[in-house]
Amino acid sequence: MKRTHNCGEVGVKDIDHEIYLLGWVHRRRDHGGLIFLDLRDRSGIVQVVVSSQDAELFATAEKLRIEYVVQVSGKAVKRSPETINQQIKTGEIEIKCSNLEILNTSKTPPIEIADATTEPDEMVRLRYRYLDLRKDKMRENLVFRHKLIRAMANYLDQKGFIEIETPFLTKSTPEGARDYLVPSRVNPGKFYALPQSPQLFKQLLMIAGMEKYFQVARCFRDEDLRSDRQPEFTQLDLEMSFVTRDDVIEVIEGTLKHTLAELEKDIDKYRGKRIPLIELPFPRLTWDEAMNRFGSDKPDLRFGLELVDISDLVRDTECMIFARTVAAGGAVKCINVKEGENKLSRAELEKLEETAKKLGAKGLAWLVLTSNGPKSPIAKFFKEEELELIYTRTKCETGDVLLFVADYFDIACNVLGEVRLELGKKMQLIDYNSFHFTWVIDFPLFEYSKTEKRWVSRHHPFTSPQGNLDEIEEKFLKEPGRIKAQAYDLVLNGTEIGGGSIRIHRADIQHKIFKIIGIGEEEINRRFGFLIEALEYGAPPHGGVALGLDRLVMMLAGMDSIRDVIAFPKTQSALCPLTGAPDVVDPQQLKDIHIRTAI
């Protein structure tokens, strides 16, 4: 169709030229004898003027309604100075309409596209997603996402990575999230699983000698949804041969630096101001450090309020809650809320304690250091010297408030970590326009699953342990919780946006790990035999990482939900209000795939 310009790109340079435009009626201002149209396409809007001098043309223009699709042609003319609209890019000119064709009409949309002063309920937005996506904000988000993916792919291409697609119909493997299953028609009673990640295939690609692979990969996990979790999501997945952890980290840091530099203008536009570029290298915290200082394996480094361990100082105190906890091998952790005496109300303190209790702590002890000395329900149990040591360790000064949790190490950390986040928000310590990346390294290889009553892989069972691989079994028998993995997570502003590891490339070690986490010989062969066999044919040392693209885009664009950067997301109950998926199917379809439902 004839189109000489995009709406948002007509300008002073086009004055007196005949312009052909295609687009949607964004707004219509009917003055009786003169009609103004704001015509919109993907590039922006431009004003079209239809005068009543041409009766036939004017009659057509009178029929127009919002979101009608039209072809317009006419001369671009300069606007008189008093009619220039500074608010739009094309505001210095307008199109004097000489021809107007209605390509399609539109029902009145349930979503206001032009003047979205209020946002409809998300259900309405998802039901009419194709209208919601017409809004500037949503289009910008998708364009931004596109640019980000292109920039990353270009960078990796330059660095010698090749993009390879891996199957969606693959094999269900135990461990990890619940699988989405796909029944096989040709093989009655058998199922494919949609991949939770391309993990095993990218390892096989390394064994195949591809050396550097990447993919913008769709992943599927049948778990409950959150504002940052969808049942299908996208990862920038990569894998490299002959690398150490630091080689992988360097590639990701390089990719992000390059990408954010490319997107600098877009990010600044989102934030309405200049955002400082990221500095390389990103800081690194060991997992132990992250837990100890921030009470989280995904620490938010946008503010301080770090946790302080005072277990050793209260070992022999007469405050029995503390002393007993330490004696039992637990920890006493503390946060110093600077000037908390004035900034924290009693009600707020009580709310924090409620949070602590919900998370499994027995309580949240507090101490206010007033100008008249300590005020606290537990102060009387402490000797003067003990308090002084605590003040020194926590850098506590007059007016500060100390919050304590005494419990098992992980509970104490988790609880105070949550309290810290709540305080950060409440006391407005967080700069929402800053990006704090950090690596968390040296994760434990195993963790104990209370529900399954066994040790499981913390990351996944293909992660290489640190240290001498041949000693893995002895080490596991001695101290399973102390074994560290060659794993690393990338964290941005308190959200995990990626993770990876150096993999096990020796068949014998891989076999041992499966055994350690309690997978029987028969099951190892049935589920993972192909991997172990592949490792036996000259598998190179390799490792990689995957970035959660949806989350990354969401955070860079400053959105609160991953759904705002996904074209067609699902609701919290994993439904698609637009298509109605999932839905019942024809009985014949079920018969074909040998499925009988039992509900």
Partner RNA sequence: GGGCCCGUAGUGUAGUCCGGUUUAACACGCCUGCCUGUCACGCAGGAGAUCACCGGUUCAAAUCCGGCCGGGCCCGCCA
Give the interface with RNA as residue ranges (CB under 7 A). Answer: 27, 29-34, 36, 38, 47, 49, 51-53, 65-66, 79-80, 82-85, 87-88, 91, 94, 108, 110-112, 114-115, 117-124, 173, 175-178, 196-197, 199, 221, 223-229, 451, 456-461, 561, 563, 571-573, 575, 577
Give Cα separations from 303 to 294, 397, 416 (angstroms): 10, 19, 15
- Residue 557 C-beta: closest distance to RNA, Å: 15
How far apart are the C-alpha atoms of 206 and 539, rounded to whole Å? 7
- Residue 338 C-beta: closest distance to RNA, Å: 26
* Residue placing its CB nearer to RNA in the complex, 457 or 464: 457
* Residue placing its CB nearer to RNA in the complex, 53 or 588: 53
Question: Helix 346-358 crosses helix 409-426 at what angle (to 10 degrees)?
Answer: 140
* Residue placing its CB nearer to RNA in the complex, 175 or 341: 175
Q: At 178, list the tokens.
A: 């619940």
Pick from 262, 214, 249: nearest CA to 234: 214
Please provide the DSSP assignment of 309-365 as one string. E-GGGSTT-S-HHHHHHHHTT-EEEEEEETTHHHH--HHHHHHHHHHHHHTT-S--E
* Residue placing its CB nearer to RNA in the complex, 29 or 42: 29
- Residue 409 C-beta: closest distance to RNA, Å: 16
* Residue placing its CB nearer to RNA in the complex, 80 or 342: 80
* Residue placing its CB nearer to RNA in the complex, 145 or 459: 459
Q: At 560, list the tokens.
A: 């609160």
End-to-end CA gap in the chain: 53
* Residue placing its CB nearer to RNA in the complex, 91 or 399: 91
| Residue 306 and residue 293 in contact, taking contact as beta carbons nearer than 8 Å | yes
436: three-class secondary structure by DSSP: coil
| Residue 335 and residue 308 in contact, taking contact as beta carbons nearer than 8 Å | yes
* Residue placing its CB nearer to RNA in the complex, 122 or 211: 122
- Residue 523 C-beta: closest distance to RNA, Å: 15
Single-letter amino acid code for the residue at 387:
L
- Residue 595 C-beta: closest distance to RNA, Å: 22
443: three-class secondary structure by DSSP: coil
Torsion sign across C-alpha atoms 16, 18, 20, 25: positive
How far apart are the C-alpha atoms of 552 and 278, rounded to whole Å? 14
- Residue 355 C-beta: closest distance to RNA, Å: 10
Ranges assigned E (strand) in 132-210: 162-163, 181-183, 191-193
Pairing of strands 542-548, 307-309: unpaired
* Residue placing its CB nearer to RNA in the complex, 263 or 517: 517
> Among all chains, which residue has been given the structure tokens 């001098």?
53
- Residue 272 C-beta: closest distance to RNA, Å: 19
| Residue 258 and residue 151 in contact, taking contact as beta carbons nearer than 8 Å | yes
Tell me which DSSP letter residue 503 carries.
B
- Residue 141 C-beta: closest distance to RNA, Å: 15
* Residue placing its CB nearer to RNA in the complex, 178 or 362: 178
* Residue placing its CB nearer to RNA in the complex, 360 or 540: 360
- Residue 82 C-beta: closest distance to RNA, Å: 7
| Residue 334 and residue 443 in contact, taking contact as beta carbons nearer than 8 Å | no
- Residue 395 C-beta: closest distance to RNA, Å: 30
- Residue 110 C-beta: closest distance to RNA, Å: 3
| Residue 77 and residue 17 in contact, taking contact as beta carbons nearer than 8 Å | no
